[in-house]
Structure 1
Amino acid sequence: MMFPSPVTGGYRDPASITRRLHAIQRRAGVPQIRFHDLRHSFATLSLEQGMDIKTISHMLGHTDAGFTMNTYMHVTDNMQQTVANAMQNLITETENKRKNKLIHFSA
């Protein structure tokens, strides 16, 4: 983690940056997580919202989208539910089309 000091131009102490992050998290009433966890959260939430992997990879500073996928992407319950819903819709649509094609004979 590299954060330049506006006063000295040198890099700030990583421990002080972490302490500052945790203080902000406490004030905000959110769970305490590490900076690196923010990268994972950003990547996962971005994918969940439909951002393309190439853009997410670029924003994280990676040259290989495959690396981003393998390292930072985590499947969420919401993602799994979205896929399940899409499959249910596909099955229902296919069944409805099949039913509409059947010829019904009266006895």
Structure 2
Amino acid sequence: MGYGGVRVTDTEIEVTVADPDDPRPSVVGESRLDVAVDGQLYPTAELADGGYLAWWFEAADSPAPDANATTEWVAAPTRFLAAATLRELWADPTVFDRIANGSV
């Protein structure tokens, strides 16, 4: 018995770190949804360009993704991929720093 599937080869994931005065991502209003990854909730929202965003806060005390306090985001083609990538970066923050600095 065989299984069909789709191979994804060019999945773009963007990690962004901004200064407090830099422009914020443009998100679709009321599109926030907290996504569970490995037992932890991560805030996500739909981007105006059709992708999804997860931001560097725990879901329970998270400001809006476009709030001045929010300065670190992961953008990906799906909510789960954005949240799961954020989870992986939380597990090893040095990787986040290397990606954000363009060292990876």
User: TM-score, normalized by length of structure 2?
Assistant: 0.20
* More strand by percentage: 2
User: TM-score, normalized by length of structure 1?
Assistant: 0.20
Q: Tell which has more relative contact order, 1 or 2 (C-alpha 8 A, sep 6+).
A: 2
Larger Rg: 1
